[in-house]
A and B are shown apart, each in its own frame.
Chain A
Amino acid sequence: VRCPEGKLSLYCKGADTIIYERLHPACKTLKDVTTEHLDVSGSEGLRTLVLAYKDLEEGYFEDWRARHHTASTALEEREEKLDELYEEIEKNLQLLGATAIEDKLQDGVPQTIEQLAKADIKMWVLTGDKQETAVNIGYACNMLREEMNDVFIISANTAEDVREELRNARRKIKPETIEAEPIFEVKQPKNKSAVLPEDTVEGEYGLVINGHSLAYGLEKSMEVEFLRTVCMCKTVICCRVTPLQKAQVVQLVKKYKKAITLAIGDGANDVSMIKAAHIGVGISGQEGMQAVLSSDFSFAQFRYLQRLLLVHGRWSYIRMCKFLNYFFYKNFTFTLVHFWYGFFCGFSAQTVYDEWYITLYNLVYTSLPVLGMSLFDQDVSDRWSLEYPKLYEPGQLNMYFSIGSFIKCLLHSIYSSLILFFIPYGAMYDTMRDDGKDLADYQSFALLAQTCLLIAVSIQLGLDTAYWTSVNQLFMWGSLAIYFAITLTMYSNGMYLIFTASFPFIGTARNSLNQPNVWLTILLTTILCVLPVVAYRFSRTELRPTINDKVRYKVSKSKHAPPPQATRARIRRTSSRRSGYAFSHAQGYGDLITSSRYLRKNMATFSPRSKTNAKQPGTVLKTYRAVKDTVVDKTL
């Protein structure tokens, strides 16, 4: 920078630890005073920066600039040469002072975090701020709580110390893991990395680790140890983290844990993390658009994350699974009928259905209803989804579409295809029309089989659809109507006269569909395909209700009363300062009680058949620690 008077100065801003290294020794007293101020601001939750400056001589600067130019156009080792130059000039700076910015938490952040924690989602904070600021933010937004059993601080300076601190933490959380296996060795066969098993822990723990220690923790030799300890904690806060480390942490979790990662950030320093995670969410805000541009989803406020995950993410998963299950079912059924027919046609690959039907089956007759279901289906409305975060669990456990459910779908298809072939077979064996003429011919049989199939799969789709909008109704009944319309048209005189060889089924619809025999067969076949599904679903809802069933039951019972709003009035703290929060004012146990964790535990003792709280800690009552301010003591 060149002043109006012609003086050259270099101004510098940055984190305190970094700038302090570059200060002129004469600034010592000023440095101490500034440090004091910084600590005070940090404990109030403000984000701090240190400013420094230096006057430059013309000659030196010209020389430096020439060298800078050479370095910036160098072909090899450009980065290193530039770094060297920057290091050289940023030395012996004069301290100006410090700034502290209040970075307010957005609305609804604590509630969001609480809701997502109820949905079994683990949340970690990765920030470039100092430790005090980060811990404060942690308490302010509900991630670290007074009732946590312990909060560990990892801030060692050497690899060995870091390892020791991690092991100490682990010893406290779960002592048996230390004795059992002193070192957890992960063998890395070829390119596959082993998956870390989940450790169930008693109680809640928090962990704070700073960037320096994190660098050691992310080394190859220690990363598994680090991850294991860290994943035992409910909340992890990493402070002083560089953008590269953010991405490395995400990649570590992706590599060793069978979990889906979501990274949410709002600044350019979050871009690498957002790209590394499975799902990247960018918050568009004051810090610009870099995070938004590199993310999969973006919105303006953090609290929309709740809606993204618990409402839209969940619906999307349910719709996708229903769609897949149904699609496999309808196509397997369609195809397996030919397998059974093969036994009766000399295995000559004769199709059971009309060729036009085969063409139009997936294209016209069954396409729109499935589309309607995958676009509009909701098992519970959005308000209820937000009300019960536990509904998110099936998605995490991959319950709705897995090998097991695929096999079930296959078995269902085999059963349906058996019904769809053998009932018409039995009904058409040696039959004739009511005027004695032929009814058991190939074309009538094909028409019968295809009508039965279409009606059966349509009713099955009707059973799968939980949310019947007018669009769904239109698609469903419309598709059946279209089927009959197209079939009657194709089997009419007109089409035959125009395209003789293409429509050989002329007259079939008229001659077979006016027989009560045929319609009774269709009725029996379709009902028989569908009733076992109804019985199975009803029985399963009664015998082993899932969280989904329970909520839907509750919704249906309270249909006349509107769903309860989120009326829990939280004390809105307008600033993120924890003034007195950690010192004397406990948050209280209100949300723990209302999170219904206790109610669930009572249910576990009364009705052993419900499995929904298998993941909860087993103890019925927890002893509480008295409010302590040891947490803050450790950070200062």
Chain B
Amino acid sequence: MGKENPKVGKPDNTAFTQQRLPAWQPILSAGIVLPLFVVIGLTFIGIGIGLFITSRNVQEIELDYTGDQEGAPCAGCTTNATTNCKCTLPFKIENKFEGPVFMYYGLTNYYQNYRKYGVSRDDDQLYGNIDSLKSPANFCSPYQMGAKQMPIAPCGAIANSLFNDTFRLFYKVNKVYTEVLLDDNGISWWTDYNVKFRNPPEINGSLKNAFEGTVKPLNWPKPVYELSTNPNNNGFINQDFLVWMRIAALPNFRKLYRRISEGNWSRSLPAGNYSLEITYNYPVLSFQGKKKVVFSTVTWMGGKNSFLGIAYLVFGSLCIVMALIMLIVYAKYQVQIDRDM
């Protein structure tokens, strides 16, 4: 090297470039690991107990009405002979259901999470976009165009398979049936109802005119602008429709049908005999699916699901056990390590 500037090419001598940054160097010592496991174990057991008890307090009754067995109440409706077939399902509630009760319909073996099914929708059309209304996206095919090449509104397989069984609930007291009022407001997410789904702008004050030039989905009995008589619940923003369009993650799912929140029924659903009148429209037997109705109360952790509570309890106990085992290991071997050092 010559006697020229010796600093040429010399790297910076800062803490950053010379790997001297001050740092925290944690080490997995017994003083950290063992208390950690104990604390986590105890916390988990506490949470688990809370969750388990809460789940136990949820009252729920599940009624299968598929009618796939002989002699079941709705067995007569399973053939395609009659449409609007009505069947009646009597059931009994042992204990009073406290608080607002929610009514759900449930399906099993129904793969709403199937990929091709899940992408078969047009969000722009459902947002009320006129262009998409008249020319739905290609994702919707084969439910994109109807007869005479008219666009389907709403297009897609999800919309086409809208659940269309209806239910009426009657409370039987001394052979007198009183209808329990079911509320169809507030069953879908606020964001779905107010932001995500919008009707196309009305023409001449009529929703029907807004849907001029489109046809109803193939399997629907009525077009979309006749889903409900309530103008706030009609068209794309019909709440049953919204609930259905929010596809489920798993093949066995429940969807909110109605809330029992009118008058005296909102405080509790009294014990006794009930009768459920079902308009059986939706065919599920072809894919070995099942249909059911669920009445359930809710708590801060949702419906009846003891999985989380049990999981917390189990893993909390495992943590405590592991902490004990590690304590034994530590006590036995630390002496040797100290000596080795």
Contacts and interface: CB of A to CB of B under 8 A. Distances in A.
The yes or no verdict on A and B being binding partners is yes
A528 B312 CA distance: 10
B311 A423 contact: yes
B3 to A, nearest CB: 13
Given A468-B26, A517-B308, A437 B40 contact: no
A350 B251 CA distance: 13
A515 B296 CA distance: 18
B259 A434 contact: no
Interface in B16-30: 19, 21-30
Given A344-B113, A506-B191, A506-B196, A542 B334 contact: yes
Interface string A412-432: 000000000001011111111
Contacts of A300: 1
Contact of A432 (B26, B100, B303): B303
Interface residues of A, number: 82
A17 to B, nearest CB: 33
Task: Identify the interface centre among B24, B115, B250, B259: most chain A CB within 10 Å of its CB.
Answer: B250
B332 to A, nearest CB: 8
B123 A501 contact: yes
Nearest to B310: A426
A216 to B, nearest CB: 39
A537 B300 CA distance: 38
Given A345-B115, A432-B256, A542-B333, A440 B248 contact: yes
A442 B23 contact: no
B152 interface: no
A524 B114 contact: no
Interface string B286-308: 00000000001011111111011
Contacts of A348: 111, 113-117
B27 A528 contact: no
B336 interface: yes
Given A350-B115, A531-B40, A516 B301 contact: yes
A440 B112 CA distance: 12
A520 B116 contact: no
A442 B118 contact: yes
A603 B340 contact: yes
A29 interface: no
A468 B24 contact: yes
A445 interface: yes
Instruction: Give the 3 A-B residue pairs with the shortest CB-CB distance, closest first.
Output: A507-B191, A445-B249, A426-B307
Given A437-B256, A467-B23, A469-B21, 14 more contacts: A350-B115, A426-B307, A430-B304, A434-B301, A442-B113, A442-B248, A501-B122, A506-B191, A520-B301, A531-B37, A531-B40, A538-B326, A542-B30, A553-B27
Interface of B: 1, 19, 21-30, 33, 36-37, 40, 44, 47, 51, 100, 102, 104, 106, 111-118, 122-124, 127, 129, 137, 186-192, 195-196, 243, 246-256, 259, 296, 298-305, 307-308, 311-312, 315, 319, 322, 326, 329-330, 333-334, 336-337, 339-341
10 contacts: A348-B117, A350-B114, A350-B118, A427-B308, A430-B106, A434-B301, A436-B259, A516-B300, A539-B329, A606-B339
Interface of A: 284-285, 300, 315, 344-346, 348-350, 376, 378, 382, 423, 425-446, 466-472, 493, 496-497, 500-501, 504, 506-507, 510-511, 515-517, 520-521, 524, 527-528, 531, 534-535, 537-539, 541-543, 545, 550, 552-557, 603, 606-607, 610
